[in-house]
Every structure is written in structure tokens, then in C-alpha cells.
Structure 1
């Protein structure tokens, strides 16, 4: 049982340990608030809720309100294309051939298939996402795994070792007007709350009276101590980070797309505005004076007049020509294809910069062979595999913390050195995949491995293997014949492959292949 810290009321007395925890929390909270505007902007662009930018103030003043809420969202496919190929199938521990069944069970009970999928999308868009692992009081053998937003979570690292020293989850209850914080350290969980929100002011930890910023201890139902001891001995908050440049500033997959996205929306605005003007008739008035608006006094009597605002004439598409001798000529329809050509070129730039297959964005596929489509996705597959490299250590740590939360230190140690199993990132036509797997089978690859490469999840692989064994027991001769048929090469391709260890050039008298 941990020693309870003194309550930390504003201006009140608190222990040195509690003051130090509050100091760490304040530092992390300040950094988190610095990140929030950037994270919000990136996620808004991913959702398609990005603002419009116009080339001139005049255009924005005249027509900006017409296009409010419009966005042609290319950021979403740039993020979704690799994210939808990042699927965790399990983790192998040590020399095991199958993924660990217990960790797979906890993963599935927590709905981590969906949670991790959402976390990967946020990871690529916002450059960070988080997972939290903690014990489950209702079932000690099944810890809880939750996925946290990057604008509510942060992890602090040791500058020398890179190890996580503390984690913070900070959120606000809009209904009650309270702000809540939980600081995770390897030793304790410090839970705080305060009314409203205020700026953090740096204070050195000491046993003296410290301004706490309004934070006070939070005691949820079920907590029997404050702070709570951390039985895992590790920070249970895990950060998933996108590519970095050997620093703590991961790069979003859409950082380089945002500028071109803004330019594309700008061209769309000009195109639709030109379309509006080109499809409506233009009215020309000749031989008339410029229209004027009467000026009335308080009694309604006209006391003067003023010219009609020219901006009104522009918006109403009216051209006034006072000179009766003026003449007009035909106005040709505006060419709108120049706008669409610019948009297509911008989308091609987005595809090249983000390694997104062009047919994912343009949507035009004209009689392309399956091999051509596979080649077109080479960049995306390479990019996805690269993102998996970035996420892999964090997934291992999530599995390790899951084992630690269940009290299994040996499994946790094995998970940190384990092999995360990911689904195949290459999408192929079914005929291509089956043909490739059949050739691998003829080379001698085991059926269980082929089932994994086909894309079956570990539970499905086990089920298929059990069904295959059941069929073999019912008809062993048929099973042997079927296996021979599967490994029989095509006509003219030669003889059956020899079993491993058989020398085709052995002496016939010694029981070689040529022996009767």
C-alpha cells in the first residue's frame, strides 16, 4: 500500500512526492497543449473539414461564402490506403510456430482489431496515436487495452536511454466543466482533477506551499489509495509514432499533401464560379443612365440620390452602358477544361509525393492487366511496410504490457523480443494469389504457413488445419491422393519432386531411386 499524499488544494500543503508528480504532470500537459493545434489541423484535413484559401481578398470577399463547407478531400485516401493494409494477426514468442493464443484472446476480447485499425489511421494522419494497458478488476486474466487520442495523451522519455519515464492522459468533461488528468509512472498512478482549465506555470518541486493550478486529488470509486501503486512496474501508456528524423517530431503522411490540397480546392472554387457565370445569361443595358438609389429623410421624403453600388451590379451580372452609341460583341463561353486539367495535374503530384497509386485517386482504370495494377501499387506496398516498421516496436510493447498486467512476467519478456505477425500488405487477384501459393506448396512450404499467407487470421488457420485433419482421418487414401495431385507438376514439367534427403544419384544397389 502506497503512502497517501497530502491533499493538494490550491495554496495548500502537499508532500514533496506529490509536488514532484504535479511538476511532471505540468510539464507534460504544457507540451501536450502545444501539440494540440497541429494535431487538430491534421485530423481536420483527414476528415475533409479544412478551410478554403483564395488567391485574392477580392475573390474571397465576393464569393467566399458560396463555397463555405466545400472541400475536395484527397488527404483521406492518402492516409486510408496504407492504414487499411496494416492488420495485426498476432505475435509469435520465441521459437513458437503459432501466434501466442493467450495474447491473441486478450487482443480479441478488447476489440483491438478495430481499435488498432483506427489508431493506425490516426497515426498516419496526426503522426501519433496511443494505447493504454491496465488491469481489469472484473477479470484479472484479461487486461484492458484502450486506444487514446493524440490530443489527450503524451509520453515523456529519458533523453539518454529513450525509455518511457511518465505518461499523461488529459481530458475535459464539458458537462461538468471539470478537467481530469492521470499521470502514469512506473511506481504510481496519480489522478487529479480541477474545475475549468488554466495555464500551467513552472514551479520547482519542494515541500513548501506550492500553487497547484487548481489541481486536487481525484478518488474514483474503487480506488483505495492515492496515488495508486503501479504493479506493472512500467509506464502503461504506449506511443505509436510515425517516421521521425532522429528527433521527437514525427512526420504526418499528409504534411506534404496539405498545400496541394488547398491549391486543388482553390482551383475548384474558380472552376465552379466560372461555371456559374458561363451558364447564366449576361444582361446588357444600353442608352440608359447609371441607376441611382433615392435617399430618404426621416419622413420618407426624397432628399437626394446616390449611384448604385458597382459591387451589386457585379453580383447581379448586370452591365450598364450609358452611351447610346456603344455597341457589344459576342462573349464566348468560358473554357472550363483548363481548370480540370490543373486539378488532374495537382492530383498526380499528390499521388507521386505520397506514393499513392494514381488509380486510387483519379479513378480511371482502362483495361489494365493484373500485373500492371500490382506494379502500380509497388510504392504503396513499400510505404506500408515502412510504416509497419515504425509501429512494430509499439505493438510488441502493448503485448508485453498486456502480459505484465496479467502477472505473467515471462510472457512479457518474450513479447518484447517476439515477432508481430502482420497481414500481407500486397493485394493480389485471387487467381494470382492461389497460383503463387500452389507453386510454393510444390516447393515444399508447409500448409499452415500457406494458410497464413493466404490471409487467414490465426483462429481461422487453426480451424482449417483441424478440418483438414478430420478429412484425412475419414479418408486417408483420398487425402494422400489429393496431396499427390497438388504436388504433381504440370504435364511435361518433369517428375515429382523427391522427398527431402533422397539422393537421386545414389547407387541402385544401395536402395537408390533406380533400385527395383
Structure 2
């Protein structure tokens, strides 16, 4: 009886979480379509859509992709330093690399930027006790339920996907994990058959063979972490794509109107006034005129022949349409996208003047701050990911230290090698240690360890040169302070 109650509660929880997940999927799917450039023509009049809509159905001047990609290309995890540790944790990065997260993390960050959230799942590998499995999951396949009043304590998580003609679901709880399946829902013709299909298509525990279902969760916490993009205190997080879509639709319409205008009015148009359309006679087999028909004007235009009849015939001309009026409005719209999303203008417009290095840095300040904000929010999820890895390895103390640790990211600012070297030299002159400077240069903690080992080997091969280099790095001794009393006596 107790087992049936647990099963009923688990099924009800799966159904509730699934409904919330399906509610989220509609805007997520729209944002993905816009990122791929699948953008329907909007804001057009009924007449324009009727005559020209099919012509531009596959066209999109896709700025959504640029806006979404620009921060992701600067989000690179280089390590994590546990609380109280002097160096980055090498084991955490080993698991990170073993799961291919140096590449897959970019997919997770991009998913958060587009869909407002993404997820990371950590679970033990039965084939390797020392290396847990870590995967990033899409926002359309995962959902997390939190404790009331908390945005971090997870009560349950659901992962749902389609496998052939079945839906699969895994319900993660702090103490156990349930696996369910059900057929893909069918479309019934009557209400009675719909009720029958609903009963037949209900979630049922999956047959896992010798593996128990449910199985115990040895980690003691829900092993799914949510990474939010631009979260709010009392509302859902915000996608970076959502605010670009209206202006993207406007840009696509302006291009469609420009192309249409260029097709009809890009060249001067000439019109003949005061003359009838030229006619040619129709002859029978005997050569007799039996009628007449209009001359093919398209053939005259192709042959560059003018055929004008009538004493009062005149030629008038319409000037070509000014297409720059469209391009100027498009540039304004793209400028609005740049300002609203803090994407540098030269990323969107593609025009580069002779700007100095300092001017380029200033132009990218908004993007750098945007990336640093994402490092802050995504970093919370990545820290919890590393803590779950430690729990999967059975190290509770390390998990606590990692939750309070410090994330290491590649520099979000893009600078030239000359600027970077000059800045590091100035930091060295005021006393910053070499290891800190190597990290600021962009080396990973593992590369810094290798570099220090190389330097140590060089010093062992040339001890005199090492001593001379050490003496040259020491600050010069300051001259002794003047003896004021001796100076007074001398005076």
C-alpha cells in the first residue's frame, strides 16, 4: 500500500512538472526559430503580404544570432578554487574535461541566452566510479521545483524527452530517482475515446531490468542545476532574444519593402502620353487584313525599340525611387538593437573606422559588463555543478568547499597583446606575483603549473642566471634618510 502511494505521488508530480514544462516550451521554440533565422514576415499590410509575402517567407536579416553569440564567445570556464584553497582544484577540471564540457558548456551558455535558462545534470557513471557523468540539458527538456521561498534549494527535477513513439521521463528527488515512460499521445475522434487513450497513455514505471525503479539517490540532493539568464526576484528569467524579436521583425519588413521597391522603381520609368497602343494587322493566307492585335511591348523593350504613333504623342519620365530612405531606417533599427542589448556597433553594422585601441575598448564596455553579469549568475550554477561532482565521488567536505569557492573565467575583455603585456608589466612593477600575472594573461591554472615547472627547470640548468634575474627583480635600496640634526650642526 505504501509503495502504491509513493508511485501515485511520483506520477502526480511528473504530470504537474510536465504541464509546466510544456507551458514554457512555446516561447522557447520561438526564440530558437529566430536564432536559426526562421522568422515569419510581420508588420506587413494584408495587401503586401498577399502579393509579396510568399516571396520573402525564407528571407531574414538575422541579427538575433549575432546578439546571442556575442557574449557566449567570451564565456570560458578555466577552473574553480575551493574555499580556503591556494590553488584551483585540478580534479574538478579533470572531470570537466573528461565530459567534454569545455565545448558543451558553450552549448549550455548559449541555451541560457536564447531560452532564458539551461540545466546541468550530474550522475554517477557505473563504468567509472571516479568520473561522474555531467551533461548540459535544454530548457525544453528539464524543469526544477524549488522549496517555497527559496531560489536555490531544489525539491525535485524532471527530465523529459521523446524516444521514438514513447516519451521518457526521469524524476529526481533528494532521496530517490524514478523512471517513467508513456506512448506518444494519439488524437481521438470522440470524447469517450479520448478518455480511453488518456488511461492507456498514462505514465507508467519504466522496465529497467535488474536495476531497481525507483533507485536510491546516494548524493542526497537533486542532481539537476538550473542556470538562469537575467533572473528577477519574483518572475521568470529573461531571454536575451526576447527583446530583439520586435525590432528584428521590423528590419525584415523594411528589407522586403526595399527589395520590392528596387524591383518596381529602382530605375527611371518612362511613359508615353497622348498615343494609342501600337497595333499590328492580322492577315489571312491570302494576305488580306482580317483584323489587328496589340504589339508585344515586352519584345519592344527587350529589343530596345521605341514605337510611338500619333501627332500629339509625348514621353514623360518618373525618377527612380530613393532606396537610401530604407537603408537609413534599417541602420537606425540596428542601432537600437545594439543599444538595447549592449552589443558593440561594429559587431552589427560591420563598419570600422580608424579607431584607436582605447576607443575599441570603450566601444565594447557594454558587452564586457554584460558578460561579467552572466559570469556571476552562471557561476553560481557551475559552482553547484562542481559540488555535485564531489558528492557523486563521495567527498562531502569538498562539496561544501566548492559551493563557497571562487569561479575562474577567461578575461571577458578583448585587448591586444601589446596592451596586455604593458598592463601586466605595470602590475609586476608594483609587486604582483608571477602566478597571478600568468592567470591574468589568460593561461589556465593547469598551464600556470606547467609554466612554473618549466621556469624551475631553467633555473636548475642555469643557477647563476636565475640568481641574477632574481636580484634584478628586487626593488632598489632607497638612500638613507638625511640626518636633520647633523645638517643643523653643520649649518
Normalized against structure 1, the TM-score is what?
A: 0.81
Give the structure 2 partner of residue 182 of structure 1.
170
Say if 1:395 and 1:283 are closer, same or farther in 2 by CA, change over 3 A: same
Q: d(CA) in 2 for partners of 1:468 and 1:180?
A: 54
Is the 1:4–1:225 contact (alpha carbons within 8 Å) kept by the matching residues of 2? no
1:463 aligns with 2:467: no
Say if 1:343 and 1:480 are closer, same or farther in 2 by CA, change over 3 A: farther
Give the structure 2 partner of residue 473 of structure 1.
460
Give the structure 2 partner of residue 304 of structure 1.
none
One of 9, 32, 37 as aligned partner of 1:20: 9
Report SS of the residue matched to 2:243: coil
* Equivalent runs, 1:70-85 vs 2, <5 Å: 70-85=59-74
1:33 aligns with 2:22: yes
One of 45, 49, 57 as aligned partner of 1:56: 45
Give the structure 2 partner of residue 96 of structure 1.
85
User: What is the CA distance between 1:23 and its match in structure 2?
Assistant: 0.8
User: Structure 2: which 5+ residue stretches go unaligned?
Assistant: 188-197, 280-309, 484-491
Give the structure 2 partner of residue 312 of structure 1.
none
One of 302, 319, 325 as aligned partner of 1:332: 319
Give the structure 2 partner of residue 119 of structure 1.
108
Deviations 1:230-277 (A, max 9, x none): 111111111101112212410011221111111111111111111122
Q: d(CA) in 1 for partners of 2:397 and 2:158?
A: 27
Give the structure 2 partner of residue 239 of structure 1.
226
1:364 aligns with 2:356: no
Q: d(CA) in 2 for partners of 1:504 and 1:393?
A: 52
RMSD: 2.7
Q: d(CA) in 1 for partners of 2:413 and 2:480?
A: 38
Report SS of the residue matched to 2:317: coil
Is the 1:4–1:226 contact (alpha carbons within 8 Å) kept by the matching residues of 2? no
Give the structure 2 partner of residue 46 of structure 1.
35
Q: d(CA) in 2 for partners of 1:211 and 1:233?
A: 34
Give the structure 2 partner of residue 215 of structure 1.
203
Report SS of the residue matched to 1:380: helix
Give the structure 1 partner of residue 376 of structure 2.
389
Say if 1:65 and 1:447 are closer, same or farther in 2 by CA, change over 3 A: same
Is the 2:270–2:316 contact (alpha carbons within 8 Å) kept by the matching residues of 1? no
User: What is the CA distance between 1:65 and its match in structure 2?
Assistant: 1.2
Q: Which has the higher helix share?
A: 2
Give the structure 1 partner of residue 405 of structure 2.
418
Deviations 1:109-159 (A, max 9, x none): 001111111111111111010110000011011000001010011101112
Deviations 1:42-72 (A, max 9, x none): 1111222221214201111111111121111
Say if 1:335 and 1:98 are closer, same or farther in 2 by CA, change over 3 A: same
* Equivalent runs, 1:264-303 vs 2, <5 Å: 264-279=251-266, 287-288=276-277
* Equivalent runs, 1:415-494 vs 2, <5 Å: 415-484=402-471, 487=473
One of 85, 94, 105 as aligned partner of 2:94: 105
One of 142, 161, 165 as aligned partner of 2:155: 165
Report SS of the residue matched to 2:167: strand
User: What is the CA distance between 1:324 and its match in structure 2?
Assistant: 11
User: What is the CA distance between 1:220 and its match in structure 2?
Assistant: 3.5
Report SS of the residue matched to 1:135: strand
User: What is the CA distance between 1:368 and its match in structure 2?
Assistant: 0.5
Give the structure 2 partner of residue 406 of structure 1.
393
Q: d(CA) in 1 for partners of 2:89 and 2:106?
A: 20
Report SS of the residue matched to 1:235: coil
Is the 1:185–1:230 contact (alpha carbons within 8 Å) kept by the matching residues of 2? yes
Deviates more, 1:474-483 or 1:440-449: 474-483
Q: d(CA) in 2 for partners of 1:392 and 1:33?
A: 27
Q: d(CA) in 2 for partners of 1:277 and 1:358?
A: 32
Give the structure 2 partner of residue 154 of structure 1.
143
User: What is the CA distance between 1:97 and its match in structure 2?
Assistant: 2.1
User: What is the CA distance between 1:497 and its match in structure 2?
Assistant: 4.9
Is the 1:54–1:60 contact (alpha carbons within 8 Å) kept by the matching residues of 2? no
Q: d(CA) in 1 for partners of 2:139 and 2:333?
A: 30
Q: d(CA) in 2 for partners of 1:462 and 1:197?
A: 56
Deviations 1:268-287 (A, max 9, x none): 11111111223578686852
Say if 1:211 and 1:428 are closer, same or farther in 2 by CA, change over 3 A: same
Is the 2:269–2:320 contact (alpha carbons within 8 Å) kept by the matching residues of 1? no
Say if 1:235 and 1:266 are closer, same or farther in 2 by CA, change over 3 A: same
Q: d(CA) in 2 for partners of 1:259 and 1:161?
A: 34
Deviates more, 1:396-405 or 1:253-262: 253-262
Is the 2:271–2:316 contact (alpha carbons within 8 Å) kept by the matching residues of 1? no
Q: d(CA) in 2 for partners of 1:24 and 1:177?
A: 23
Aligned residues: 442
User: What is the CA distance between 1:441 and its match in structure 2?
Assistant: 1.1
Q: d(CA) in 2 for partners of 1:497 and 1:271?
A: 70
Report SS of the residue matched to 1:341: helix
User: What is the CA distance between 1:408 and its match in structure 2?
Assistant: 1.1
